[in-house]
Copies of this chain bind each other. A is one copy, B any other.
Amino acid sequence: MKDLEQALAAVASIFTDNMPYNDFLNLKVISMTAEKTEIEVPWSDAFIGNAHHKILHGGVTASILDCVGGLMVAADIVTRSESLEKAVLLNKLSNLGTIDLRTDFLRPGRGEVFVASAHLIRAGRKVAVARMEMHNEKGEHIAFGTGTYLVG
């Protein structure tokens, strides 16, 4: 079990350390298990999509939801892998990709910290589907999402 935790932590670090765009988002993984993933993104003025209202660009919100959904699918792939060797996992994860993503924008994207979480509603060998949500630090729902991902 400790091996699994280490493997999940290693995958989380790929998301946060090796992706320039996630670096721009300043994305931090809070939790990553087979049941649920959670990430955090602090407000940045660079995310502003409406200068007058000072709210998040819709694309930033969609990006955060896509990240946490993809991380959820990655957690599922790692957890179900018969081997936790790095090369095996990297090979499996190299095929992971978003097929389609629906984003529902519910409230203006205001806040100091945005917390997004995901859980799987379909976990297949070819395709996985995740449902995501994003709140701000006050617990206000900013957005929901549904993503379909290609697996393995």
A contact set with B: CB distance below 8 Å: 18-22, 24-25, 45-53, 57-60, 62-64, 66-67, 70, 94, 97-106, 108, 121-122, 126-127, 129, 131, 141, 144, 146, 148, 150
Contact = CB atoms under 8 A, between A and B. Distances in A.
Contacts of A64: 59
A18 B51 CA distance: 6
Copies of chain A in the complex:
4
13 contacts: A20-B47, A20-B48, A21-B49, A24-B24, A52-B94, A53-B94, A59-B63, A62-B63, A62-B101, A99-B148, A102-B146, A144-B146, A148-B148
Nearest to A94: B52
**The 10 A-B residue pairs with the shortest CB-CB distance in the complex, in nearest-first order:** A59-B63, A21-B57, A62-B62, A18-B51, A20-B48, A58-B98, A58-B66, A101-B103, A100-B104, A106-B122
